[in-house]
Chain A
C-alpha cells in the first residue's frame, strides 16, 4: 500500500526527515511513535502533499505510484486521507456544504457520478450517528465553535464518508478525554478493512490501547530507528523515549 524509500525533507533549510524508510501493507495498522520534534507530523504532511516542505531525496509510493509530484487533491483522489492534529475552522462554510463539496470532488476525480442529495444525506446521517455527531453540529460553520473532541470526531466523519484507502491519523488522541477517545477509536476500528491501511501517529501509548496496531515504529531524528509488534508500544510506555533522544543526539 505505502512504501517510503530514503525520504529526505527540509523546511526552511532545516532537515526534518533524514533518509526515512517505511512500508505499510494493505489491511495493516501501523503506529509511529516518537519524541516531540522527531518529524512525525512532518511525515504526515509530506505524504498528504503540503507545499512548504522541500523533498530533497527519496520517494513515496502508494500502490506502486510515486505521489510526490501530485497536488494534495490528486493524492486524496488516490485514497490518501490525513486526519489533522489541529483541524482548521472555516467560518462561513457550513459543515454540510463542505462535506458535499469534498465527497463530490473526489467522485468527480474518479469519474464517478455525483451523489444525489437524498443519497448524500443518508450517508452523512448514518456516519454521523456512529460518531455521536448531532444535526446541529452539521449545520454550523466547519469546526467553528467545536470542542477538541468534536473536531476530531468531525475528522473521522470525513474519513468515513470519503472511504480512503490509506489513512493517516496525526496525534488524533491529543486533547481528547477518555470518552471522546473511545468514540474516535471505535470510528476508526469500524473502518478497518483488508483493503485499507492506517498510519497512526502518536506520542503516547494510550491511543494504541483502543486502536490496536499490527506494527509499531519508533521515529527519532527523522528516521525509523526501531520496528516491532504492538508490544513495542508497551515497552516505550515503560522506558520513555530517553534512549532514542540520546541516539538522536
Chain B
C-alpha cells in the first residue's frame, strides 16, 4: 500500500477505511472483487478530484465533500420511501424502484414486465456472476473517471435490464431512485441496460430526495444499444437541495441506432451529471439535451464526452441552463472525432440565461478533431433576459414577473421539446412552471 500516498483529507481517509472494512461484504467475488479493487485503487490514488484536475476544474469535490458519509444499508421501510416519490407518476410506465441505492422488489413491476424485457436485481446478479455483467465498463472514454470508479468500487445493488432483439417495448421503463434518511448516507447504485439489435425502448430515470438528512448519491447507468436500436432516455434530478449528487451515463451506441437523452436538473446542492458516449457502429444518430434550472446556492455540472470512433455518425447537443440567485452552472462538452471517423456531423450548443447579478455560468465546449472530412460546430452563449423582449411582453400587459417567466419557459422549452412522449414532456414542462412559480 506504500505507493498509494496522496490521501490527505479526512473524507479521503474515511473512504479508504470504509472500503477496507466493507470490501469482503460487498456482493460478488472472483472477477467482480478484483474489479472493485482496481476501481478503488484508482479512487485512492487520485483522491477526491479538485480544481487542479482539469476535468473537475469547476466542480471541486475535495472542497465540497468534507466527510464521506457511510454507504447506505437497505432502508427498513424501503417501500414507504418509494411511496413518497412523485416523479413521472402520471406517466404509464413499468417501475423499477431503488431506495437509497437498493433495489426494492415490492415496488417494482417485475411480475408484469413487457414481453422481451428481463430484469435482474444487481446484488443477486453480482453474487451469481450473471453473464450480463460482462457489458459493464465498455466505454473507453469513461475509464479512469473518479465518480465511475467510486461507484464500481462500492456498487451494492441496482439492476441488469435486457431488452431482447427486435422488441418494441410499448411502455416506458422507469428507473425510480428515491433517497431519504434521518442521518447522512452515501449511495452507489448501478444499472446496466442492454438493448439488443433492432429493439426500441423509452427509459425514464428519476432521482428524488424525500428525507431530512443530507446525502451523497453516486449512480451509474450503462446503456449498451445494439444495431438498429431506438432509445429515448429522460433523466430527472429532483434530489434534495442539500444533497451531493454524482451521476454517470455511459453509452455504447451500435450501428444505425438512434438515441435521445435529455437530462433535467432542478435539484441537488452540488450535482454533476456525466455522459460518456462511444459510437461503435456507423450511420447512428445521437441527440443529447439538458435543461437545468438553478437557484439559491445550487451548483450543477453537466459534463459530456462524445467519442466519434467510427465514420458517418451524427450528434446533436443542446443544453439550456437557467441560473438564478447565487447558483452556479457548469457545462463541459467534449466531442472527439477519431482519425477514422470521416463524415462525422456534430453540433453542440450550450446556452445559459442568468437571472441575477450573482449567478455564474462556466461553459467549456471542446472539439478534438483528428479526421479531415467532418462537419463540426459548437457554440456557447451566456446572457440575461432580452430587455426588448421584456418590454414587448410588458407593453402587452404582462407584469414583469410573468413576462420573465414566459421568456424563461420559452428558453428552457426548446430543450424540453426534445422529448417526444407527450406525457413525459408534459410533466417536465409542469416542473419548469413550478420552478418559475416559486421564483415569483
Contacts and interface: CB of A to CB of B under 8 A. Distances in A.
B396 A102 contact: yes
A216 B402 CA distance: 38
Contacts of A98: 406
Contacts of A187: none
A72 B388 contact: no
A13 interface: no
A244 interface: no
B413 A49 contact: no
A90 B398 contact: no
Given A88-B388, A101-B402, A105-B402, A93 B410 contact: yes
A92 B394 contact: no
Interface in B362-401: 387-389, 391-400
Contacts of A51: 387, 391
Interface string A134-164: 0000000100000000000000001000100
Given A84-B392, A92-B411, A109 B397 contact: yes
A164 B413 CA distance: 31
A106 B397 contact: yes
A101 B387 contact: no
B29 interface: no
A76 B389 CA distance: 16
A71 B400 contact: yes
A93 B406 CA distance: 7
A72 B406 contact: no
Contacts of A84: 392
B143 to A, nearest CB: 39
Contact of B395 (A76, A92, A101): A76
Contact of A50 (B391, B400, B402, B410): B391
B113 interface: no
B409 interface: yes
Contacts of B391: 48-51, 72
A93 to B, nearest CB: 5
A162 B394 contact: no
Interface in B398-433: 398-400, 402-403, 406-407, 409-411, 413-414, 417
B107 to A, nearest CB: 36
Interface string A74-102: 01110011101001101111000010011
Q: Is the interface of B mostly helix, strand, loop or mixed?
A: helix
A73 interface: yes
B410 A91 contact: yes
Contacts of B402: 101, 105
Contacts of A177: none
Contacts of A82: 395
A162 B407 contact: no
Contacts of A162: 396-397
A73 B394 contact: yes
A13 B211 CA distance: 57
Contacts of A73: 394-400, 403
A118 B399 CA distance: 25
Contacts of A109: 397, 399
B394 A90 contact: no
A72 B395 contact: yes
Interface in A91-130: 91-93, 98, 101-102, 105-106, 109
Contact of A76 (B387, B396, B407, B411): B396
A50 B393 CA distance: 11
Contacts of A105: 396-399, 402
Nearest to A88: B392
A69 interface: no
Given A84-B392, A92-B409, A101 B414 contact: no
A102 B413 CA distance: 19
Interface of A: 48-52, 71-73, 75-77, 80-82, 84, 87-88, 90-93, 98, 101-102, 105-106, 109, 141, 158, 162
Given A92-B410, A102-B398, 12 more contacts: A49-B391, A71-B399, A73-B395, A73-B397, A73-B399, A84-B392, A90-B392, A91-B414, A92-B413, A102-B397, A105-B397, A105-B398
7 A-B pairs with least C-beta separation = A92-B410, A76-B397, A72-B394, A106-B397, A92-B413, A102-B396, A72-B395
25 contacts: A48-B395, A50-B391, A52-B387, A71-B399, A73-B396, A73-B400, A76-B394, A76-B395, A80-B395, A81-B396, A90-B392, A91-B414, A92-B411, A93-B407, A93-B409, A98-B406, A101-B398, A101-B406, A105-B398, A105-B399, A105-B402, A106-B397, A109-B397, A158-B396, A162-B397
